[in-house]
Structure 1
Amino acid sequence: MRDAIDAVDWSAVPGHPDWYEPEHASRGLRALADAVHLVRAAEAGSLLGGGGIVHGHSGAVFPAAAVAAPLLLDIVQHGHPAAGETALGLLDEALSFRPRPGYTRVLPPHGAAVPICCVIADHVRARTAPLSRMGSTGKALLADAAEHWRFDVRESVADGDDTAAFGSLAGRFPDDVGAVELNVAGEFTVLDRVGLEYAPQEGSAEACLRVGGLLPGDLPPGAILYPAGCGL
């Protein structure tokens, strides 16, 4: 686990210069991975929560949190129980805290910039099975991640004055969805007429969204929809 932590150049990860402490990120993750009791886990959590991946006093989350998320989830699964609980708490804060202006997104190896919280939510969902076995704390984190839904468009067809978009839905699409961000090859558009036509059935992610005001060509395969509030 240390190799994966040390493989990241934390000083190269963008972050607000007055808030983000790259050294806290690297030292905190190494210490948390090595922690074998509550005191060491708490010390590591203080580094990570004091500018490493979040800033607890101001309720800020940094792009480093998205990079650290799979490492924290490894600690949850394979580290000391006290370290795992600390990691779960940090992930929960990273999902709920707000990013600083200008540092709201991260750029994955392939694709367009994605809101920090949505990247973290994707990592959390990828560990659904082990987190579900970790009692109320793990299930609460999964529930928090579900609020950061994403819809990947596979195909779009005209349906009257609207467009029906077929694809896969991760997370929970809300009844009162509000504004939705459409990401097409890195170009962002905010939509206000999006509804769930049919939800995924158990064991499947297939769903359909009804989108008003757009033509099928505006929703090409590979387009992604997120909650618009996540990109702020």
Structure 2
Amino acid sequence: MQEVQEVQEVHEVRRVRDALEAIAAVDWDGLPGPADPYDPARAAAGLRALATATGLVRAADAGALLAGGGLVHDHSGAVFPAAVVAAPLLLAVARHGRPEAGATALGLLDDALAFATRDGSTRVATPYAEAVPICCALADHLRGGADVLATRGLEGRRLLADAAEHWRFDVQEVVAEGDGTAAFGALAGRFPDGTRAAEVHRTGRATVLARVVLHYPPQPDGGSDACLRVDGLRPGELAPPAVLFPARCGPGPTGG
């Protein structure tokens, strides 16, 4: 029994060390955000406190820092790009941290996505596109944490359902089809029924498409392969590595 406890303690020390190193590796001051109310010091301090929290009071104190200007500002309903950077760290706390800290992390992710959905203006750079609506970037991280969210009861399942509304489609191949293009690729999230407007992002450019429809959905076995039909766009205008997002998530970028 003592050996098991010692192994658990070693794992806990490593978890906390790795979390603190990941937090320290981020230049929180260099992230974009309004000088008021975004406070990068709160972001770093709050995440450190949450990663090491061992009880309800400490987890609540850490959450207050992060909700009071660190990642979001709950009084004004603002969300900052720091929340996107912190999302994997919060998911790690939910996966491996103490229960109280994990619950606080999920609450912060819930607030961040809710505030971001109402934002419509803030965009962030990601590995797959340069100016992604902040809600879509957050949703992508939440899908990446589906394994832990699916085990966290109603709140976790609701977060996954909310994230699914912010779909993403990575174009892998295109062919001409009538006056439009059939785009084959990987769909993450849930594309809604009917014809929808979408943003298409290519290197250095993002434009709004008026008519996009799900031509072939992914198979029920959980795969992501799908096909979108895009009206009025030539294959060359949608060639890989184009990425599509819901147009409703932003006011509409301009071409460049």
Query: In which range does the TM-score fall when normalised by the shorter chain?
Result: over 0.9
Q: 1:174 aligns with which of 158, 169, 192?
A: 192
Q: Give 1:186 shift.
A: 2.8
Counterpart in the other structure of 1:226: 245
Counterpart in the other structure of 1:159: 177
Q: Is the 8 A contact 1:92 1:144 kept in 2?
A: no
Counterpart in the other structure of 2:27: 9
Q: 1:42 aligns with which of 26, 42, 60?
A: 60
Aligned mates of 1:189, 1:53 — CA distance in 2: 29
> When you count helix as a share of all residues, which structure comes out higher?
2
Q: Give 1:147 shift.
A: 1.0
The aligned runs of 1:140-155 (5 Å cut-off) are: 140-155=158-173
Counterpart in the other structure of 1:210: 229
Q: Secondary structure at the match of 2:249?
A: helix
Counterpart in the other structure of 1:81: 99
Q: Is the 8 A contact 2:70 2:82 kept in 1?
A: yes
Q: Is the 8 A contact 1:182 1:190 kept in 2?
A: yes
Deviation sequence 1:43-73 (CA, Å, 0-9, x none): 1111111110111111111000000000000
Q: 1:196 aligns with which of 197, 209, 214?
A: 214
The aligned runs of 1:38-187 (5 Å cut-off) are: 38-98=56-116, 104-108=122-126, 111-176=129-194, 178-187=196-205
Aligned mates of 2:91, 2:134 — CA distance in 1: 16
Aligned mates of 2:90, 2:37 — CA distance in 1: 21
Amino acid in structure 1 at the alignment position of 2:249? C
TM-score w.r.t. the length of structure 2 is 0.85
Aligned mates of 1:99, 1:139 — CA distance in 2: 18
TM-score w.r.t. the length of structure 1 is 0.94
Identity in percent = 62
Q: 1:22 aligns with which of 40, 55, 62?
A: 40
Q: Give 1:194 shift.
A: 0.5
Amino acid in structure 2 at the alignment position of 1:24? R
Amino acid in structure 2 at the alignment position of 1:198? Y
Amino acid in structure 1 at the alignment position of 2:71? I
Amino acid in structure 1 at the alignment position of 2:242? A
Q: Give 1:177 shift.
A: 5.8
Q: Secondary structure at the match of 1:14?
A: coil
- Higher relative CO (CA 8 A, sep ≥ 6), structure 1 or 2? 1
Aligned mates of 1:158, 1:217 — CA distance in 2: 9
- Which structure: larger Rg? 2
Give the gaps of 5 or more residues in structure 1: none
Give the gaps of 5 or more residues in structure 2: 1-18, 252-256
Q: Give 1:8 shift.
A: 0.9
